[in-house]
């Protein structure tokens, strides 16, 4: 290599190294604020300020979730000094010296350990120069007693925080609860630090980022003795903590509270929707609990184990996770599919042949409306047989396979057999069987309608969540379409929620005879749901009485009812499911009627029926 080439190589190398340094400095000073923050912390204290969580309101502007101020007593061990008076400190907080030592050990242990690849040993994550909460969730009164004496105990200082408060003791399964972040969550998201709370369930979890707000920063210049001297640059670089904008839900808290009253001493649920928007008006899971009992670490440690071990499962969100056999409410969608497929008409008549399937005595079901009114089981045996076996294929088993899969497509278009899109965690899909499902049980082309006929009346393998059931009522009210069921009222809350307007495979004109039948169920003599009738309001509904087996042993039937009202311009669609309560018209129907009347009229016209429901104890205790 000649001298000239060597000179170019050296120049290139120098330029390359210079560029590397330049980009590294640019990254450290402009893009990465870690070094800037560190430099600030050498000369002044950088204290992050966390805002209270956003307030939550119901559809009527009623506050349903607020905040209450509490305090944490924080400690930085490095600043405590070697002559810390543990005995005097323990007297101040009302603990023993041993309890104080144990708390320090608990903090260190709680931070866990990590593997140091340089030393080859596991070392503590705990750092003496970091602040940790020594006492948590102190009330204002408790902090006032301690704060004046903290100057005598270096390393300790008070930090204001807040915890949730619930003006109404209702909606626990909807709203969820908060608990303290763990080390993994702190490492994953820099917003959090020890003692912070995070949403663990319900709305608090789903909208965690929208509820938590934006942190602020205050810079304080300190002396060599670590005393506050002044604000850094007069507070020029301070930023305010910003509480997030309020969130508005479609929930009606008064209706929710009323539903929980009606469901006292019962197991099951109520789901009510506004058909035109998909907003959830009420979602009662019974038994329930007061959400205030899961506010704060002390309450959670006391009450959560009790709730978890309660055999009636108050923590279990039945409306969204319980997959129930739907019973006779399923006949509504069978009617719609049969009409769309043109295998029946609105005036089709079938005999009530009880040798095929059991039924109760009633007048002849010579139309769809009457079949729905009387809830005739044999009628739907014949109707669904025509849907599944349309004789489009010569082979009966292939024909049944094709028909069932087409039937399944219809069900999917109603949102059944899949998870509904919603701002709720933990939704279950229910079960709508297709040919693959039965092939696993019986083998391909080894079954036909007679093998699976129980699905005709909503028994057997079919399962829906109560949210599916209420949404079915909303779809019929809308004559074939629905919005994804949800809680958030997007325009008021200031951020969008992605919801979809979904259309079923059934044309609007086929809903009229079904709605006619639902009206007859409630309003005509002999209808199975007359206890849901409301004076002056046209209610359309359908009862269901679900056979219930446990371990092959027959149990008491479940009581089911779905409905919407008013008939002409529906404002509420509802599903009520009560476990082990018997006939659908006896208990589920009147509860639905009371809920709809309460929502539409803000009052109850039949106090005797209300008292009957309130006094009923149907939870087998």
| Residue that has been written with the tokens 């979904």 in this structure | 502
The number of angstroms, rounded, from the C-alpha of 217 to the middle of its chain's C-alpha atoms is 33
Whether the CB-CB separation of 161 and 74 falls below 8 Å is answered with no
3-state secondary structure of 548: strand
Burial 318-339 (b: 16+ CB within 10 A, else e): bbbbbbbbbbbbbbbbbbbbbb
The alpha-helical segments, DSSP class H, found in 222-347 are: 253-262, 297-309, 318-321, 331-340
Query: In angstroms, rounded to a whole number, what is the distance separating the alpha carbons of residues 110 and 119?
Result: 22
The domain segmentation of the chain, as residue ranges, is 3-32, 45-248, 253-615
Q: What is the pLDDT of residue 397?
A: 95
For 584-595, the pLDDT digits (tens) are 999 999 999 999
- Give the CATH fold of the 253-615 domain: Beta-lactamase (3.40.710)
Instruction: Give the other-Cβ count within 10 Å of 137's Cβ.
Output: 19
CATH says 45-248 is which class? Answer: alpha beta
Question: What percentage of residues in the chain have a pLDDT greater than 90?
Answer: 64
For 287-306, the pLDDT digits (tens) are 999 999 999 888 999 999 99
Lowest-confidence pick of 368-377, 411-420, 489-498: 489-498
Q: What is the pLDDT of residue 346?
A: 96
Q: Transcribe 62-120 into DSSP letters.
A: -EEEEEEEEEEEEE-GGGS-TT--HHHHHHHHT--HHHHHHHHHHHHHHT-EEEETTTT
The whole-model pTM stands at 0.85
Question: What percentage of residues in the chain have a pLDDT greater than 70?
Answer: 90
3-state secondary structure of 461: coil
Same fold, 45-248 and 253-615: no
End-to-end CA gap in the chain: 97
pLDDT at 99 over 80: yes
For 464-478, the pLDDT digits (tens) are 999 999 999 999 999
Confidence category of residue 241, pLDDT binned at 50, 70, 90? confident
Of residues 298 and 614, the one with the higher pLDDT is 614
Q: What is the pLDDT of residue 9?
A: 65
DSSP at 580: T
Whether the CB-CB separation of 350 and 565 falls below 8 Å is answered with no
Nearest alpha carbon to residue 215 among 192, 232, 246, 197:
192
Q: What is the pLDDT of residue 224?
A: 46
Q: Measured over all CA atoms, what is the biggest interatomic distance in the chain, rounded to whole angstroms?
A: 112
The mean per-residue pLDDT over the stretch 92-96 comes to 92
Residues 6+ apart with CB under 8 A from 307: 289, 294, 314, 315
Whether the CB-CB separation of 246 and 54 falls below 8 Å is answered with yes
Query: In angstroms, rounded to a whole number, what is the distance separating the alpha carbons of residues 548 and 556?
Result: 6
For 34-65, the pLDDT digits (tens) are 545 544 443 446 677 788 899 999 999 999 99
pLDDT at 486 over 70: yes
The number of angstroms, rounded, from the C-alpha of 392 to the middle of its chain's C-alpha atoms is 44
For 323-382, the pLDDT digits (tens) are 999 999 999 999 999 999 999 999 999 998 888 888 888 888 999 999 999 999 999 999
For 388-408, the pLDDT digits (tens) are 999 999 999 999 999 999 999
Of residues 113 and 108, the one with the higher pLDDT is 108
């Amino acid at each position: 290599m000649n001298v000239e080439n060597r000179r170019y190589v050296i120049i290139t190398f120098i330029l390359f190294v210079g560029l590397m340094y330049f980009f590294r400095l640019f990254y450290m000073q402009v893009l990465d604020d870690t070094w800037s923050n560190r430099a600030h912390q050498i000369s002044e204290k950088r204290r992050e300020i966390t805002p209270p969580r956003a307030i939550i309101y119901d559809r009527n502007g009623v506050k349903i979730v607020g905040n209450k101020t509490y305090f944490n007593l924080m400690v930085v061990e490095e600043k405590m000094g070697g002559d810390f008076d543990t005995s005097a400190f323990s007297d101040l907080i009302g603990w023993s010296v041993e309890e104080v030592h144990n708390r320090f050990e608990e903090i260190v242990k709680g931070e866990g350990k990590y593997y140091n690849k340089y030393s080859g040993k596991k070392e503590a994550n705990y750092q003496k120069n970091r602040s940790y909460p020594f006492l948590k969730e102190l009330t204002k009164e408790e902090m006032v007693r301690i704060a004046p004496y903290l100057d005598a105990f270096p390393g300790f200082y008070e930090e204001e925080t807040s915890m949730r408060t619930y003006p109404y003791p209702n909606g626990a399964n909807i709203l969820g609860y908060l608990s303290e972040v763990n080390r993994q969550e702190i490492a994953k998201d820099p917003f959090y630090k020890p003692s912070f709370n995070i949403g663990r369930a319900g709305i608090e979890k789903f909208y965690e980022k929208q509820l938590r707000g934006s942190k602020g920063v205050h810079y304080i210049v300190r002396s060599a003795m670590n005393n506050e001297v002044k604000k850094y640059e007069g507070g020029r670089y301070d930023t305010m903590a910003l509480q997030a904008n309020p969130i508005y839900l479609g929930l009606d808290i008064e209706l929710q509270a009323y539903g929980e009253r009606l469901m006292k001493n019962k197991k099951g649920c109520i789901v009510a929707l506004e058909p035109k928007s998909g907003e959830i008006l009420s979602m009662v899971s019974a038994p329930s609990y007061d959400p205030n009992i899961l506010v704060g670490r002390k309450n959670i440690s006391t009450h959560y184990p009790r709730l978890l071990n309660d055999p009636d499962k108050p923590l279990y969100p039945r409306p969204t996770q319980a997959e129930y056999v739907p019973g006779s409410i399923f006949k509504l969608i069978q009617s719609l599919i049969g009409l769309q497929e043109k295998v029946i008409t609105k005036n089709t008549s079938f005999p009530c042949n009880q040798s095929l399937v059991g039924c109760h005595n009633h007048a002849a079901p010579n139309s769809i409306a009457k079949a729905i009114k009387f809830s005739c089981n044999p009628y739907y045996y014949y109707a669904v047989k025509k849907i599944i076996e349309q004789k489009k294929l010569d082979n009966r088993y292939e024909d049944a396979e094709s028909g069932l899969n087409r039937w399944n497509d219809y069900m999917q278009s109603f949102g059944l057999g899949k998870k509904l899109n919603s701002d709720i965690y933990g939704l279950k899909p229910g079960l709508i069987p297709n040919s693959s499902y039965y092939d696993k049980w019986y083998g391909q082309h080894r079954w036909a309608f007679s093998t699976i006929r129980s699905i005709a009346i909503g028994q057997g393998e079919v399962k829906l969540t109560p949210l599916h059931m209420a949404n079915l009522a909303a779809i019929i009210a809308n004559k074939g379409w629905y919005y994804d069921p949800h809680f958030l009222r997007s325009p008021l809350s200031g951020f969008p929620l992605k919801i979809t307007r979904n259309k079923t495979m059934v044309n609007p004109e086929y809903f009229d005879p079904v709605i006619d039948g639902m009206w007859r169920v409630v309003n005509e003599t002999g209808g199975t749901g007359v206890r849901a009738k409301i004076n002056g309001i046209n209610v359309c509904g359908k009862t269901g009485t679900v056979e219930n087996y446990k371990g092959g042993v027959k149990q008491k039937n479940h009581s089911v009812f779905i409905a919407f009202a008013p008939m002409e311009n529906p404002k509420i669609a509802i599903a009520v499911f009560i476990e082990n309560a018997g006939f659908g018209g006896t208990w589920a129907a009147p509860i639905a009627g009371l809920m709809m009347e309460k929502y539409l009229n803000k009052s109850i016209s039949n106090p005797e029926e209300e008292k009957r429901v309130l006094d009923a104890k149907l939870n087998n205790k």
